[in-house]
A = this chain, B = another copy of it.
Amino acid sequence: MRQLQDIDTPALVLDLKIFYENLEIMSESRPGLSLRPHVKAFKSSVIAGILKKYGHESFCCATIREIEGLVEAGHKEDILLANETLDASRLGSLVANGARITVAVDSEATIIAAAEGGVKEVLIDINVGLPRCGCDISDAEMLSSFAKKHGLKIRGVMGYEGHLMFIQNKEERSRKVNEAMEILHDAHLIVGGDVISAGGTGTFDINTLATEIQAGSYLFMDTRYAKIELPFKESLSVASKVISVEKAKRWAVSNAGVKSLGMDYGKPSVQDGVVGICSDEHTTLFPTEGDDSVRWETGDVVLLKPSHVDPTIAKHPRMLCVEDGYVVEEWPIDLRDW
């Protein structure tokens, strides 16, 4: 069996023990269908299969490819495209073959696309404060009627409070989430249906309105999520190897860069050092403040902690699962691209 020292780098490395701890904490708090795991975080049908064994049979996705891949792998009980689309024909084919697929809609155009594409069920996506998708609540009734006229079943409402996900103080986060969810509550009274789909890792236990929480990052966490009060721990790193050390040891260079690390929330972090420059396939590591020189030698494996786990995972073809220092499994990231 391979140890970290033996793997090709860069590579995604998952601490399997922490992964399952995170999974179980969430499953206890949000059992079965009260969690709709967000596939965009992990993009792996293998992980979807594991979540299903823990009772989570419904999934949500951000892309059509994620849905196609889930269905190919046999996970077709109840998948939500938690996103708008103007071409639902690929989804309609899956529905025609027995998959249950629901699509978020927030306009007449997206309703027409769903109906013409062959999708049968929708959620009315309501804007709850994040400047992104979702209709204004004043349009909920009109869109609801419009969808029904087009033969679509309305399962309920969706609203994503993404702008509140990273408020550090839990009390403040909780208060603001409640305010946002009042909008969704009112929309649900208008639209009806069984489903109120909302939330994420940062609000999984404070969003009390949602009948289902859309969370995925909790399985891995990242340095941004680590800053807020949550019971989950970081399980994922990008393993890199030190390929060069400056003569006076003023810096070391590891072979993971921006092509293996999501950079939209900033640079990765590292123990016992400071991350300097990240280029395509390199990260320059400087000593911790106060130290004159870096502690690494050429050949050392360095674990970089990503700032944003979702786009980091999307850059890799596989995830190496490590237990007691050994690679015990290799999970494909098979739901990438579009």
The answer to whether A280 touches B311 (Cβ under 8 A) is yes
Is A135's CB within 8 Å of the partner chain B? Answer: yes
- Whether A50 sits at the interface, judged by CB under 8 Å, is no
When the two chains form their complex, are residues A244 and B106 in contact, meaning their CB atoms are under 8 A apart? yes
A317 and B337 CA atoms in complex are apart in Å by 7
Q: Are A131 and B243 in contact (CB under 8 A)?
A: no
A29 on the B face (CB < 8 A) = no
- The answer to whether B264 and A278 have CB atoms under 8 Å apart is yes
In this assembly, does A259 line the interface, its C-beta being within 8 Å of a C-beta of chain B?
Answer: yes
Contact indicator B258/A264 (Cβ below 8 Å): yes
A132 within 8 A of B: yes
Say whether A298 contacts B107, CB under 8 Å: yes
A324 contacts the other chain (CB 8 A): no
| A328 on the B face (CB < 8 A) | no
A258 to B: closest C-beta gap in Å: 4
CB contacts under 8 Å to B, within A132-150, are: 132-136, 138-139
Q: Give the number of chain A interface residues (Cβ < 8 Å).
A: 61
Contacts A259-B310, A263-B263, A298-B109 hold; do A243 and B282 have CB atoms under 8 A apart? no
Question: Are B85 and A243 in contact, with the CB atoms below 8 A?
Answer: yes
Q: Which residue of B lies closest to A87 (CB)?
A: B8
Nearest CB to that of A8 among chain B residues?
Answer: B338
Q: How far is the CA of A298 from the CA of B109 in the complex (A)?
A: 7
Checking B131, B260, B310, B315 against A280 with a beta-carbon cut-off of 8 angstroms, the contacting residue is B310
From 262 to 289 in chain A, residues with beta carbon under 8 angstroms from any chain B beta carbon are 262-264, 276-282, 284
Decide if A86 touches B299 in the complex (CB within 8 Å): yes
Partner of A131, one of B251, B264, B316, B317: B251
The verdict on A57 contacting chain B, using a C-beta distance below 8 Å, is no
Q: Residues of A at under 8 Å CB distance from B? A: 8-11, 40, 62-63, 83-87, 106-107, 109-110, 127, 131-136, 138-139, 162, 241, 243-247, 250-251, 253, 255, 258-260, 262-264, 276-282, 284, 298-299, 308, 310-311, 314-317, 337-338
